A and B are shown apart, each in its own frame.
Chain A
Amino acid sequence: MKARANAMELVGGAMVASLVIVAILAHVLAPYDPTRAVANSFGDPWAPSWRFPLGTDELGRDVLSRIIVGARISLEVGVAAMVVTMTIGVAIGLAAGFFGGTVDFVLMRFTDVMLTLPSLLLAMALVSVRGPSLLVILIVIGIVSWTSVARVVRAEALSMSQRDFVMAARALGAPPQRLIVRHVLPNVAPTIIVMAALGTSGTLLLDAALSFLGLGVPPPTPSWGRMIEEATIYFRVAPWLATFPGLAIFYAVLGFNLLGYGVLRRRAR
């Protein structure tokens, strides 16, 4: 069980750590103001050069600075949306698995219904009817992505609540909330951590997709997804505009995936 950390975990962990550092130091690391025109390249984006390593966009803004500050926004939204997702998923999964019976039946049938709905379409519809704001986006991502978390946590909680030590505590008269918080939750925690890492890659992708569709955090806040969307009409003349923000999303998602699957692999041995 306590095997050495594998290469996947280490690389993934390092990628995530680098991302966190860039996000925290974003305003120190960014060479220019990400929301201001710093080059005289209006309507005619400049290719990468020494002065602007990743080029400038159609409004004369520095792409590198926008990507660096975008890391902060993307990570904030990704992690916060993951927390919302996990909170809903863990609460529903724990309740269903621990209490069983009617509670389990009702919650799981609700999960079945939610699983049937197309998540991106539902997210788009909800964001567009409520208007894109940070809070709406976080809640909507949570609403459409908690189902798989709930299913996994339910299965774990179900098997935990049948174990001898939980039975013993129950027999000694411990109330349900104590049983859940003191006995079931700590034993489900490793699973929750893995799901959180993998969940973040999911929320990052969903947030990027919403931004790409024009339903992300409103401008002028730099967002990786919207940078790609704005770059699509320049894909012939300025391919770097779409390339670099996409690489940033790819890097972030891959980092969380490597970390999550790495931990999963070690625990499976």
Chain B
Amino acid sequence: MFAYLIRRIFFGAFVLLGTSLITFAIAFMVPADPAVAMAGAKADPHTLATIRHQLHLDEPLYVQYGEYVDRALHGDLGRSYIRRESVTRLILSRFPATALLAISAMALSLMLGIAMGLVATAYRGSFIDNTQLVASLAMVSMPVFWLGTMLLIAASAFTRSIPLGGLAGWKSLILPTITLALGSAGYYSRILHTNLSDAMAQEYVRTAIGKGLSRSRAMVKHAMANALLPLITLAGLDLAGLLSGVVLTETVFNWPGIGRLAYEAIFSLDIPLIMGTVLFSAFLIVIANLVVDLMYAYFDPRIRLEEMG
């Protein structure tokens, strides 16, 4: 178990190093000179040279990359060109709004997805099952930003009590949460349906049914235990994705989160902020991967024993 833990951590560190290299490369694909971006097009050569020196842009690439990684390891993601603020602080200041939305969307999509998956499996092969299949495909096929806009239209036409944008009170969570949750709920319901159907065909569940347990009880009490684990894995990774900001939904609802921050950074070509948000999101995914791997090893003895060899 301990060796497994070490291996996973090592792997996570490797992946982060890889992502840092790619985000670092993005900065050098920009045709514009960052010094000019900061000082303006009419700045004199001396000012530009000073800025370049301050940003260490006059040093060799590998030195710049080394410094970048070193600072990132200390939690310093540089300073925003446009906002003149620490990137780390900017991201952290937007984190609560994003986390609030991420958690409420994840809760709704899991509840909806599990309910849909359970019902479809219980009525496997029936009209309900097929309807659920089409419904879930429809849910994943909807463009998020369009769904959000449609909800805006509906809310503005039928009610005055739901805020249409921004973050003010719990009611402002309603529309963005539904927007984000529907797609993943459709996806989760299908995953659960597949896993649950497989588990229902397993010996241990058939034995339980053979011994007189009702099908629905066998499904919820026995098959669910095995079917939920892959779903939780997926949800864990998705949650990390949500926590790093959801650009489209936050844009539609003017949500003051990391996604909007990234959106604004991209449009103002604020390179340190772009790199920061991308790296932050990769960091969350790596952590989530690690947690999920460990959870798996903890809950599923088959993996633990195999890994220990």
Contact = CB atoms under 8 A, between A and B. Distances in A.
Q: Do A and B come from one complex?
A: yes
Nearest to B137: A257
Nearest to B21: A113
Nearest to A205: B143
Interface residues of B, number: 50
Nearest to B16: A116
User: DSSP class of B's interface residues: helix, strand, loop or mixed?
Assistant: helix
B127 interface: no
B15 A246 contact: no
Contact of A228 (B133, B149, B245, B282): B149
Interface residues of A, number: 44
A2 interface: no
A258 B133 CA distance: 10
A17 B156 CA distance: 36
Interface string B239-282: 00100110110011000000000110011010000100110011
Contacts of A130: 29
A121 B281 contact: yes
A120 B138 CA distance: 21
B145 interface: yes
A121 B149 contact: no
Contacts of A209: 143-145, 248
Nearest to A11: B134
A126 B269 CA distance: 11
Contacts of B14: 109
Contact of A246 (B23, B31, B143): B143
A201 B141 contact: yes
B140 interface: yes
A116 B282 contact: yes
Nearest to A119: B241
Contact of A257 (B23, B29, B140, B247): B140
A122 B277 CA distance: 10
Contacts of A109: 14-15, 18
Nearest to A229: B145
Contacts of A118: 241, 244, 278, 281-282, 285
A165 interface: no
Given A125-B26, A212-B248, A232 B149 contact: yes
Contacts of A126: 26, 29
B153 A125 contact: no
A128 B134 CA distance: 36
Contacts of A133: none
Interface of B: 11, 14-16, 18-19, 22-23, 26, 29-31, 133-134, 137-138, 140-147, 149-150, 152-153, 156-157, 241, 244-245, 247-248, 251-252, 262-263, 266-267, 269, 274, 277-278, 281-282, 285-286, 289
